[in-house]
Each structure stands twice: as C-alpha cells, then as structure tokens.
Structure 1
Amino acid sequence: MKAIQTDLFETRDLVALRKKWTTAAVGRPVVWSYGGGVQSAAIAVLVLRGELPRPERIVMADTSREASATWAYLDEVVQPALVEAGLRVEVAPHTLATKDLTSTDGRPLMPVYTRQAGGRRVGQMCNFCSGEWKRDVVRRYVRSLGYGPEGRSERGPVVNWLGISRDEIGRMSGDRRKWIVTRWPLIFDRPTTRAGCLDLVAEAGWPRPPKSSCWCCPYRSDAQWRELRESWPEDWAQAVALEAELRERDCDVYLHRSGVPLRKALFDECQAGGSATGELPCTSGQCWT
C-alpha cells in the first residue's frame, strides 16, 4: 500500500480488517457489483488500466427504477469500453426481488417521508430498498450462475467488490453469508476518495458520471429533483406517478422532505449540499456507487 493512506486507513482496526479480508479472499473469483455511479466508473478505469485485477463477472441490479442517466452512461461510456477489453456488465433482473414497493406488512421499502403529530412534523421511514432491490438481487443472480457455498455449488465462493471509496469507510458492511467475502477495492487495493474517482474518470477522457440513484429516491436533494424534472421528464413523471400510488395506500407519505407531494414541492435554490451531482446520504453500504 502507498503512503497516501489516510490516518483512518492506518488505524490498527482497519489494518487488521484488511488482513482478515485479504486472507479470506485468496483464490476466490471476483464478482463486481456495479452500481452505475462515480465509484463504479473509477473502478472500470482502474480495471482497464490494469491497476485492479479483471473480475470474473460484473453484475448490476435492475431496480426497475434506476435513473435514465445511469443507464445512458453505462450504455454509452462504460459498457463499450469494457466490451472492447473482453468484459461486460450483466444485468440482474428485478424479477429476482421478492418484494417490490412494500414489505409483507404493507410498509414502504423506501425511506419515504411521513406527516406525524397531526401533520405538524415530518419524519422519515427506514431504508430497506437497497437491500431488497440491489444486494439480494445481485446475490440471487450470482447464485444462479453456479457460485455459492464450498462443496454445495458448481463454482464455489466468491469475492464481491463494492464501490465504496476511501472517504466512505463508515459505509463498509460485509455479507453475512460465508461464501461471499466483501471487498472494497477503492479502500483496500487502490485507496481513492470520491474526488480522486472523478479525477480518474477525467484522465480516461470520459464524461462526468451521474450519481447513481433511483428516480424515486427520497434522499434526492432539491437540486437533484430539479435536474430530474428539467432534464429527464419521463423519470420525473414516473416519480410523480409512483408517489401518487403510494399515497393512495397512505395519504401521509411523500417522496420530498418537505412533506408535500412532488408536484407541489418548492425546490430550494440554495439548499445546503444540494448540487445536482452530489452524494445521496444512503448509509446502508449497499446502494453501490
């Protein structure tokens, strides 16, 4: 490892963690969970430059609600470059998800906003969508390819790459299944921040990647909602329609933090941290970027 590591990266706990995951990963094929955003584009660049090993499979979960900008960047930029190098992003279909909009007890999987205390206070529900729509879908797809527990599968255990960068160490979360060893190449192998990822993409001559997210994600900033409405009207229309569907079941849920329907929301031009290309605060470690 190079001397550019941060103080956090040099702590005893993290060094021990790196050793543990490195030992467990020896000899296992790599399956990269491609998230479609900045970190994923940077990993693609590093693989193409030979600075990261070639993964055996590259898999992206189709949430059925991924923003059109993400698919456009994959189709027009990343996929052609990977195909030229003999690689390809495979898409795990949303049919592999066992839950869609709601849990078995009828609660929304998305972290929607709710009106509480007689409508005076706005709260937010927990986030379960990334696990149900991404992590579990990719896992089931990988299992269908023959990977799995030692002695009980054709291809055996795997190393699963996740695109979390060095400045997101707090999002690290391993898989509870022993046949999957989670690894973060932008933390352990080629320590890189999100800003560094953007530099890598620019060095490759690629355009700036969009922030990977669903068009209905309640974590969107006002700037991101405006960008969706003005630049991707079909996605915006789908978000409005989905919110209306959710509100038919519960009139106190909303996709916007103000606790009003999207069509009526006033997007703050000066909202802090609200750049159209900024991060969404998903802390699950599974909204793979």
Structure 2
Amino acid sequence: MTHPVARFLSLGAGIQSSALLLLAVQGRIPTFDAAIFSDTGWEPATVYTHLRRLERLASAAGIPVVRVCSGNIRDDALDPQHRFASMPLFTLGPNGEEGMARRQCTSEYKIRPIKAEVRRRLGHPHPMRVPTGVYAQMAIGISVDEVHRARDADVAYMRNTFPLLDLQWRREDCSAFLTEHGLADTPRSACLGCPFHTDLEWARLRAEDPTGWADAVAFDAAIRHGSARATVDGHPLRGQFFLHRQRVPLDQVMLRPRAVDQQDTPGCGPWSCPHPAEQAPDGPSDTATDQDPDYGR
C-alpha cells in the first residue's frame, strides 16, 4: 500500500478552507506541508487582508501558505493579445435568448496553478510524468451541506480528502469555529466580478467597497460584446455578456438582497465553485473549451 508523499490544503481563504487551516494550526487535524492559495489577481481587498492574517497564523505553526498564480483574470480577459478563459457570464442572444457562457476560469486560474505547484513539490513538474504511486493528499474545504461537490481528483498524483466531512461539520459549524477564535469576519472567497455573486454580495460591494464596485461596473461594460481577442480577430460575440443575471448593465441592476443568501451561497474555491451541471445552458459564446493538459494523468 502506498502512502502520500505530502499533504496539502487547497486554501481558498473562505469559510471552510480557513476553518481547516485553523484546525491544523491547533493540531485538531493532521498538519499540512503547505496551504496553497491560487490567486486570480482579482479577489476583493477583504480576501487579501484575511489571507495575510492566515499567513501569520499558519507560519506560527510551521505551515507555509504558498500563493500561486497563472495571471490576472481581469486584465487577461480585456487583453486582445491574451486567450480568453471564459467566465460563467450571463448571455443575451440577438433575439433575446438567455443563457450562460462556459466556465473555464476556475480550471485555468485556480486548478491548473495548484496542480503545477503540487507537481513541482513532488519533484515532477510538467511535462515530466509523475511515477505511479507518487501522490499528494489534497485537503479540500467542502462541508456536509456541500457534499455533492466532493469529487475525486482527475489526476493520479493528487488524492482529494475532505476533513470537514469526516468531522460532520456544516458551513455554520465552520463559521462558529472561526468566530470563537476571532475570525468572525472571514469573507466569502470569489473574484470581485464573479457572476455567481448574490444580490446581497453585490449590494455589500457597492456600499462597502466603492472602488471595487466601480471596477466591477467597468469590467461589466468592457466585456459586453465578448472577449477583446475574439473581437480583434473578427469574431465578435453573437449577443451580449453581463455579470448579473438580470442581463442589464451592472450599475442599472435592481438589487434585491436577501439575508439568507449569505448562508446559502458557497465561495468559489477551486473544487467548490458551482459545477457546470448547476449552471444554465450555454448561451452564445465566442470561445472554445480547452482540455486540461493534466486531465487523467
């Protein structure tokens, strides 16, 4: 029977993964060789502030928090020289058809950088093949209320584990644990302009972070007619993109925040972002799906 070479935490810096890191710091679950945070470059300021706090806590327990990145998702989307990794944007077709674009952003900006770092730490960076039997455990912060998102890794050199499921913890248990230890303000982790934001989150962004809100409004307007690269190449979007499901400019959306949204909506971690099957059918798109080069390895 083979044993893991290393044990890592997939750190999204949201409620569940923060709870896992704190549990390891306190010795209540086995420690991690590293906690890996995949930075899209477009997280809210509150997430980066919280991440620095987690880095200090983890460092005291000998757990390095490693930041990995494959680019700035916002800047890349607006760069005509950069391939557009499709976001789950809401679409409005030429004849009023409603849909949702493909979601490639999680794979490209969160999962791939983590896989690359795991390979590097195992001593077998791409394109080297990882020898059979060499693998790392990857602890993922999925709680009992999100058990349907717990899936096996799609590569042989990573084996997913779900310590919160073993503890039978729900998201509210994680929140209570963090509150007990002075981390009640742990934010939900998601890109500043994530289309999965609830109206409560959009309203909070508008009220508490005017700069972030203006950034999201500007991005929403900039992606209205598709990716910059496709437009330059003569393949503009057949329809329109929007950040909000109402499919109107973000600064014109009639927000209807509900307090329950704060409890119901998971963060967009690498393995807890809403699954494609939970999305609306694809709408018009000017992008093609890219197969993960590590899939099945």
Q: Could you say which TM-score interval applies, normalised by the shorter chain?
A: 0.7 to 0.9
Q: Pick the aligned partner of 1:264 from 238, 252, 258.
A: 252
DSSP-derived class of the 2:138 partner: strand
Aligned partners of 1:147 and 1:158 also within 8 Å: no
Match of 1:199 in 2: 176
CA 199–32 in structure 1, closer or farther in 2 if over 3 Å, else same: same
CA–CA separation in structure 2 for the residues paired with 1:41 and 1:280: 13
Aligned partners of 2:15 and 2:175 also within 8 Å: yes
Give 1:211-230 correspondences, 5 Å limit.
211-230=188-207
The amino acid of 2:12's aligned partner reads: G
Q: What displacement does 1:244 show?
A: 2.0
Structure 1 unaligned regions, length at least 5: 1-22
Match of 1:122 in 2: 98
Structure 2 unaligned regions, length at least 5: 227-236, 275-297
Q: Pick the aligned partner of 1:285 from 271, 276, 280.
A: 271
CA–CA separation in structure 2 for the residues paired with 1:262 and 1:37: 25
DSSP-derived class of the 1:60 partner: strand
Number of matched pairs: 257
The amino acid of 1:162's aligned partner reads: I
Match of 1:6 in 2: none
Q: What displacement does 1:256 show?
A: 0.5
CA 181–96 in structure 1, closer or farther in 2 if over 3 Å, else same: farther
Aligned partners of 2:7 and 2:139 also within 8 Å: yes
Aligned partners of 2:142 and 2:272 also within 8 Å: no
1:93 aligns with 2:80: no
Residues 159-206 of structure 1: per-residue CA shift (max 9 Å, x gap): 111111111110012212111111111113x22110110111122222
Aligned partners of 2:137 and 2:158 also within 8 Å: yes
Give 1:33-182 correspondences, 5 Å limit.
33-75=10-52, 77-95=53-71, 100-101=76-77, 109-116=86-93, 118-119=95-96, 121-148=97-124, 152=130, 156-182=134-160
The amino acid of 2:246's aligned partner reads: S
CA–CA separation in structure 2 for the residues paired with 1:196 and 1:56: 25
Q: What displacement does 1:96 show?
A: 10
Aligned partners of 1:161 and 1:183 also within 8 Å: yes
Percent of aligned pairs with the same amino acid: 26
Match of 1:3 in 2: none
Q: TM-score, normalised by structure 1?
A: 0.78
CA 92–107 in structure 1, closer or farther in 2 if over 3 Å, else same: closer
CA 284–32 in structure 1, closer or farther in 2 if over 3 Å, else same: closer
CA–CA separation in structure 2 for the residues paired with 1:28 and 1:124: 40
CA–CA separation in structure 2 for the residues paired with 1:252 and 1:151: 42
Q: What displacement does 1:93 show?
A: 1.9
CA–CA separation in structure 2 for the residues paired with 1:39 and 1:281: 9
The amino acid of 2:24's aligned partner reads: V
Match of 2:5 in 1: 28
Residues 109-139 of structure 1: per-residue CA shift (max 9 Å, x gap): 11101113622x4322232211211111111
Q: What displacement does 1:224 show?
A: 0.4
DSSP-derived class of the 1:133 partner: helix
Match of 2:279 in 1: none
Q: Pick the aligned partner of 1:274 from 261, 277, 287.
A: 261
